[in-house]
Homo-oligomer: A and B are copies of this chain.
Amino acid sequence: MSNKFVLINEKIIPATEASVYINDLSIQRGYGIFDFFKLVDGRPIFLDDHLARFYNSAAQMRLPINHSPEELKELLFSLIAKNELPDSGVRMTLTGGYSADGFSIAEPNLIITQQKLTINKVAPLNGTRLVTYSHQRQFPEVKTIDYLMAIWLRNYIVENHADDVLYQHEGNIRECPRANVFIFTHENKLLTPAKNILKGIIRKQVLKLAKASFTVEETNITLEDLYNAKEVFITSSTKNILPVTHVDGRVVADGKPGENTRVLQEKLNQAIYQLCV
């Protein structure tokens, strides 16, 4: 890990020494939640949204957080000050804790890590390729640590000459493992799946920013809708907006990032830039 220090349960320690005991419920039973936000020029991007989602994920999975959002912010900033990584990602993980019987939730462990982010400058311009796969995440609206399927699908992605996978369930599209998906119809209507997904923070921003220029709808989107879209893009905190040029080996429109997507990329970049000045 590129981070120098990490924070575990209020203590800042060198990353090389950061460990948890093996009876933690994350190791025993894959039980935990997390959130992740970006620092740009040392400024946290949409931090309050990420904190709100973190607290919601914890509550949904019945993991108590012994800190108010203000206290948690203080912990975050103390680590950020120590690490001196102005362009980085910060991850807050909350595990099921040291469970005596290996099954019951205990006092959660709070782990905060920070890693340098290398921005991919090519993908936002050239676009990315998706392949779909039938899967519905359990606890879709909670940011759990469950990425079993996502990691297992790495081979499937490569075999299908794609860069990322898009889950679909019974012919309705859902989300990528770490990104939300949007389509523009040929009527320049912006659509994104309404439910059974993790609602991304950049997704929320895009919905807000797009409303000034486009008709926007959170709704059910079929594979057919996706294949026939005028433009497709995905959003995430690390990726911002990535145009999608190929889905399941088919070319989206003319295979180039679309004009509407460009407009939204520009709007989002400005919104993020506003947070950093």
A200 to B164, CA, bound (A): 34
CA A30 – CA B96 in complex, angstroms?
Answer: 12
Q: Are A1 and B24 in contact (CB under 8 A)?
A: no
Per the 8 Å Cβ criterion, residues 20-44 of A in contact with B are 20-32
A180 contacts partner chain B, Cβ-Cβ < 8 Å? no
Contact check, A145 vs B96: say whether CB atoms are below 8 A apart. Answer: no
What is the minimal beta-carbon distance from A206 to any residue of chain B, in angstroms?
Answer: 24
Please determine whether B111 and A27 come into contact, CB atoms closer than 8 angstroms: yes
A9 to chain B, nearest CB (A): 12
A29 to B18, CA, bound (A): 17
Q: Number of A interface residues, CB 8 Å? A: 46
Nearest B-chain residue to A151, judged by Cβ: B31
With both beta carbons as reference points, the residue of chain B lying nearest to A1 in the complex is identified as B23
User: Are A27 and B29 touching (Cβ within 8 A)?
Assistant: no
Q: Which of A70-101 contact B (CB under 8 A)?
A: 91, 93, 95-96, 100
A21-B19, A138-B138 given; A31·B62 CB < 8 A: no
Contacting A145 at CB < 8 Å: which of B1, B19, B27, B95?
B27
Q: Are A30 and B93 in contact (CB under 8 A)?
A: no
The answer to the question of A104 belonging to the interface, with a C-beta cut-off of 8 Å to chain B, is yes
Q: A178: shortest Cβ distance to chain B, in Å? A: 8
Q: Count identical subunits in the complex.
A: 2
Q: Does A276 have its Cβ within 8 Å of any Cβ on chain B? A: no
* Residues of B contacting A115 in the complex (Cβ-Cβ under 8 angstroms): 102
A144 — which chain B residues lie within 8 A by C-beta? 30, 148
Interface residue A61 (Cβ < 8 Å from any Cβ of B): yes
Q: Is the CB of A27 within 8 A of B32?
A: yes
Contact, CB under 8 Å: B22 / A145: no
> Could you tell me if A30 and B148 are in contact, using CB atoms closer than 8 angstroms?
yes
Report the Cα distance A151→B208, complex, angstroms: 36
Known: A26-B27, A31-B147; 5 extra A-B contacts, CB below 8 A, are A26-B26, A29-B145, A30-B31, A105-B151, A139-B149
List 19 A-B residue pairs with CB atoms under 8 Å apart, sorted by A's residue number: A1-B23, A1-B102, A18-B21, A20-B22, A26-B27, A27-B32, A27-B93, A27-B111, A28-B145, A29-B151, A30-B30, A30-B147, A31-B147, A96-B151, A103-B150, A104-B151, A104-B154, A135-B138, A139-B152
